[in-house]
Amino acid sequence: MPQDIRRAAEALHAIASECAMRAAPAHDIADKRTPVDADGNVLASDVFGWSGDEKVWWRNSRIALDSPLTTACRFESQPFWVNAAGFHLRQPNSYLSSIDLANFEHRAMTRAAIVVPVHLPFGQIGAVSFNPLDSSQTDLTDAFLANGDALGLYARTFIATYVHVMGAMQALPPQSRLSKREVECLRWAAIGKTDLEISMIMSRSRATVRFHIHNASLKLNAVNRSQTVFKASQLGYISLGN
């Protein structure tokens, strides 16, 4: 229930404090807004202890584009810790090594942090960064090994629950199950094939291909072919990675 959000935030704050950390939660890294309680109070300041006189992360309208922390969350799903020297994970990720860390402290608004990416349905990405209470601390190796997995579990639970309870997720129609033919047409459309080309590949008429793609767009409440392909990929029917 919405009235329980504040209590959940207080629990996450207490857990972070026990680890000598302060949490900075974001339910959607593409959204300028930050989690609030049922009365609209900003949890970052009311619960998590980010005071108004600080250069607080949620007041930076460009943080989703500028911060190497949020950039990394687009390419990694497991907890990691990061400082100006680089990203540190249990398993290497070559995508992260290409992220620019210049002027790290200014852009990340911290000298080091443990970060938990939270990949949600429909392509939404949330994140929670845990910043050391000792702002001079730059090596979080021991803290990550000791608490990284637990912080990951608590952070994912909080963000996923917040999004579910507060309705901060893009909605799709409940009856959005696609047929085998619809998925097949969209897979070819996703790699740039025209209706005519798809009809030749599938040995179906051009009208049949259009029919299947149109039906898929209705099921996914999409306004055009591109959005139909995008929403189908969000639901895992097709892959845009190949």
Q: Is the dihedral angle over the CA atoms 76, 81, 86, 90 positive or is it negative?
A: negative
Q: What is the pLDDT of residues 129-183, one digit of tens each?
A: 999 999 899 999 999 999 999 999 999 999 999 999 987 555 566 667 899 999 9
Within a domain: residue 116? yes
pTM: 0.78
Answer yes or no: do 153 and 190 share one domain.
no
Backbone phi and psi for residue 199, each to the nearest 5 degrees, phi listed first: -65, -40
CATH code (residue 35): 3.30.450
Residue 76 token pair = 């990694």
Q: Is the dihedral angle over the CA atoms 53, 11, 34, 118 positive or is it negative?
A: positive
Within a domain: residue 20? yes
Within a domain: residue 175? no
Residue ranges making up the domain that contains 19:
2-166
Within a domain: residue 239? no
Is 98's pLDDT higher than 60? yes
Within a domain: residue 114? yes
Domain end residue (candidates: 142, 166, 190): 166
Q: What is the pLDDT of residues 50-69, one digit of tens each?
A: 876 556 666 666 666 788 99
Answer yes or no: do 159 and 191 share one domain.
no
Q: Where are the alpha helices (DSSP H) in the chain?
A: 5-18, 43-46, 63-66, 68-73, 94-97, 104-108, 141-166, 180-190, 195-202, 206-219, 225-234
Residues of the chain with pLDDT > 70, as a percent, come to 90
Within a domain: residue 57? yes
Answer yes or no: do 97 and 155 share one domain.
yes
Domain end residue (candidates: 166, 200, 218): 166
